[in-house]
């Protein structure tokens, strides 16, 4: 995770960003701290990336890389405003002595990649259409040695896979069908017949931008309907307020890069 010490909405690179809407940075830090404390309280270890001036979106740490079984596929951001973040993430993994592979293709890390380790032997779900190029899906497959399923995003509000779909445990997912092309919806139905299906209200509340450890699902507190669906499916929803960071087009998952050893 990376503290939003320098967080601001200084440009608009997704439909949620509005440069005329003021951001309360102090409140953003408090809300982010509460998210970090929630993860620690659930028994997880949180590593911190040092925020850098001039990179106001660094708080969205999930976008900096994608990690599977100790191998790291680095990010290459689409927009120049975020390009500098990639080096900070690379440096973190280098310090940890992780196997890091720099990308040739444009991709935004866990923003557009999700891993479901026990689904069909271990699947990477990969989004394209707005940020990550489809060529990066093939590159990720070569780097990580896991089959990659390409899913086309069609609604600019859901510009990353992680605002439309999330892994709930080692074998199942939750997603909003309307974010995907008709063909991609059919693929998801085939792969995950027991998936939790979110509706438009859930998605617009950034409910899909969640993190789950298989039992506890940390999600945006505004997504009350989705929290109910997850509870009914046997998960423990853990709501967290992230209204300030939502102004940049992200929520819980965007703030968390998962380190899969």
Asked about 160 being catalytic, the answer comes back as yes
Each residue's pLDDT tens digit, 40-95:
999 999 999 999 999 999 999 999 999 999 999 999 999 999 999 999 999 999 99
Residue 254 CA to residue 111 CA, distance in Å, equals: 7
Residue 35: the pLDDT is 98
pLDDT of residue 12: 84
Confidence at residue 28, expressed as pLDDT on a 0 to 100 scale: 97
Domain spans in the chain, listed from the N-terminal domain onward: 25-255
pLDDT at 261: 87
pLDDT along the chain (261 residues), means of 10: 95 85 94 98 98 96 97 97 96 94 98 96 97 98 98 97 98 98 98 98 97 98 98 98 94 97 87
Active site residue: 89, 128, 137, 160, which one? 160
Catalytic: which of 89, 128, 137, 254? 254
- Fold entry, domain 25-255: 3.75.10
Dihedral of CA atoms 124, 64, 209, 182 in degrees, nearest 10, equals -50
> Is the pTM above the cut of 0.75?
yes
Average pLDDT, the chain: 96
* Residue 101: per-residue pLDDT: 98
CA neighbor of 208 nearest in space, from 225, 190, 194, 184: 225
The torsion angles phi and psi of 191, rounded to 5 degrees, stand at -75, -35
User: What was the pLDDT predicted at 191?
Assistant: 98
pLDDT at position 25, please? 94
15 in Cβ contact with 157 (< 8 Å): yes
Q: Active site includes 254?
A: yes
- Give the tokens for residue 221: 């507190």
């Amino acid at each position: 995770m990376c503290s939003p010490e320098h967080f601001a909405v200084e440009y608009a690179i997704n439909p949620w960003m509005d440069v005329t809407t003021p951001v309360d940075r102090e409140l953003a830090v408090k809300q982010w701290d509460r998210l970090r404390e929630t993860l620690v309280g659930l028994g997880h270890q949180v590593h911190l990336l040092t925020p850098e001036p001039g990179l106001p979106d660094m708080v969205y740490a999930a976008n900096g890389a994608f990690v599977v079984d100790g191998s790291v596929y680095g990010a290459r951001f689409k927009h120049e405003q975020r390009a500098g973040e990639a080096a900070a993430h690379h440096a973190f993994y280098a310090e940890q002595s992780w196997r890091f592979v720099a990308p040739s293709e444009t991709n935004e890390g866990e923003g557009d990649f999700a891993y479901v380790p026990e689904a069909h032997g271990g699947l990477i779900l990969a989004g394209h259409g707005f940020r990550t190029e489809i060529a990066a899906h093939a590159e990720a497959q070569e780097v990580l040695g896991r089959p990659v399923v390409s899913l086309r995003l069609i609604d600019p509000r859901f510009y990353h896979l992680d605002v439309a779909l999330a892994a709930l445990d080692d074998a199942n997912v939750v997603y909003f069908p309307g974010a995907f092309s008709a063909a991609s919806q059919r693929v998801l139905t085939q792969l995950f017949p027991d998936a939790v299906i979110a509706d438009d209200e859930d998605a617009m509340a950034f409910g899909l931008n969640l993190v789950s450890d298989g039992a506890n699902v940390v999600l945006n507190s505004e997504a009350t309907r989705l929290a109910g669906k997850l509870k009914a499916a046997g998960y423990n929803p853990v709501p967290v307020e992230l209204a300030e960071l939502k102004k940049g087009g992200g929520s819980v998952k965007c703030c968390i890069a998962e380190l899969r050893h």
